[in-house]
Amino acid sequence: MPDAPSKPALAEGLTLALVALACIAFQVWLPTTHVKDNDYQAAVEVLNAHAQPGDVLLLNPWWSERARLFIPESVPVVGYLGSDADPLELNPRIWVLEQPNLPEVGRSQFWRAFSQGRTELSSEIRLGNLSLRLYKNGRARPVLFDARARLAEAKVYLELLDGSRQSCQWSGHSHRCPNGAEVLTEWRELKYQPRQCVRFFPPAQGAKLVAEFANLPAADSVVLMGGYIWEHAVHLGGVTRSDLGLEVNGETSTIPLPPGTDGLQRVEHKSSPAGSTVRVWVTAPNPADREVCFELYAFGAATP
């Protein structure tokens, strides 16, 4: 006959048994949270029927990118570390595709970051382990001008320290500059975020690379966004700061980019009249490793 156990020993034994049972339950339950291909197909059918140009699909959790296999490219899929708080200001409507049953999904955190300024337009559609909801994006603003779409018309040149200019030639795909630089729109990463932005690497010897856009429509604000691409943001040794500048009708604002500045930075110029000329420029004392890209928008007033 065994001795009666001490309380700590019994607690140890019960803890081990209960933890083991909980772990078994977890391992049996986890596969039930998986999403079936049919559920994604059903989501696609909803999107095909109801999505509008300019809509975007936001993932929760941000990493649940299996959706990309199914969602048509006409609806951009957004999911990156930090995307919960993305204002998505180019997209008036947001579809939120959730997997609410996954463990540690951090739903409350997501909704806290997401909800401000968003209004639900449809009730939740449950598709197996998927949940789909449509929101009006109160943080969106009407896009009156997008530099990426008008890049071919831009005047792009190098501005040397003595003020002289060297033009870059449009090749049908990119602006090619005398120093070998190319200015074009491409997918790049800014702190995990995929951005289609304009490649804009600073030239050598303190010169400026300039992109000049003329005849902008009247706008509530002109916004320049940009930053260091990928790991170039975190390199600290042997590099200098860069400056990304915005000049609207001669008024200048600058985004300083000291080494270590990671992610998309922005500067906003309030209200510009029709026919404005906007210059975007970049410069760095030492251009090595200073890979920068930008986006430039003229926004109308946000609709309530």
Partner 1 sequence: MTADLEARRDRLIAWGLFAFAFVLLLATEKAAGFVRDESFYFYAGENHARWFQLLLHSPSQAFTDAAITRWFDYNHEHPAGMKNLYGLSFLLFNETLHLLRPAAAFRVPAFALAALILPLTFLLTKPLFGRNAGIYAALVWLLVPRQFFESHISCFDVPVAAVWLLVVYCFWQALSRPRWWLYTGLAFGAALATKHNAYFIPVALIPFSLVKGWQSSVGKPLARALFVGINAAFVFAVVLYGVMVLALGPQGVLDSFRFPSAQLAIFVAAVGVGSWLLRRLSQSDLATFRAMAPLVAMAGLGPVIFYLHWPYLWHHPVDRTAWYISFHLTHNHYAWLYLGELLRGPPFPLMYVWVKTALTVPTSLFIPMVLGLIWVAVRIIRDRVTMLELLVLVNALVSILLISAPNVPHFGGVKHWFPSMPFLAILGAGSMVRGSDALRGWLATKKRVLSENVVFGVLAVLCFVPALIASVRIYPYGTSAYSELAGGLPGAASLGMQRQFWANNVSGIFEWLNSNAKPGERVWLHENHNLQTRDLQRNGMLRSDLVFVEGPWQADLVAYQYMQEFREQEFETWQAFGTTRPVTGLYLDETPQIIVYRRQR
Point out which residues bind partner 1 (CB under 8 A).
1-6, 9-10, 12-17, 19-24, 26-28, 30-31, 33-35, 61, 63-66, 68-69, 71, 73, 76-77, 80-81, 99, 102-106, 186-189, 192, 194, 229-231, 234
Closest C-alpha among 114, 110, 80, 112 to residue 94: 114
The smaller minimum CB distance to partner 1, of residues 51 and 278, is found at 51
The structure tokens listed for 177 are 């500059």
Q: How far is the CB of 242 from partner 1 (least distance, A)?
A: 18
The smaller minimum CB distance to partner 1, of residues 21 and 274, is found at 21
The smaller minimum CB distance to partner 1, of residues 6 and 123, is found at 6
d(CA 227, CA 293): 6
Pairing of β 276-283 and β 208-216: antiparallel
The smaller minimum CB distance to partner 1, of residues 107 and 136, is found at 107
Q: How far is the CB of 62 from partner 1 (least distance, A)?
A: 8
The smaller minimum CB distance to partner 1, of residues 145 and 200, is found at 200
d(CA 177, CA 170): 9
Q: How far is the CB of 72 from partner 1 (least distance, A)?
A: 8
The smaller minimum CB distance to partner 1, of residues 38 and 215, is found at 38
The structure tokens listed for 184 are 């074009």
Q: How far is the CB of 81 from partner 1 (least distance, A)?
A: 6
Q: How far is the CB of 303 from partner 1 (least distance, A)?
A: 28
Four-point Cα dihedral 14, 17, 18, 22, nearest 10: 170
CA dist 19 → 12, 29, 166, 232 (Å): 11, 15, 71, 45
Q: Which residues contact 40 (CB under 8 A, 6 or more apart)?
A: 66, 67, 69, 70, 71, 130
**Helix (H/G/I), strand (E/B), else coil: 240:** coil
Quote the distance between the C-alpha of residue 180 and its chain's center. 29
Q: How far is the CB of 151 from partner 1 (least distance, A)?
A: 15
The smaller minimum CB distance to partner 1, of residues 163 and 238, is found at 238
Q: How far is the CB of 143 from partner 1 (least distance, A)?
A: 20
**Helix (H/G/I), strand (E/B), else coil: 148:** coil
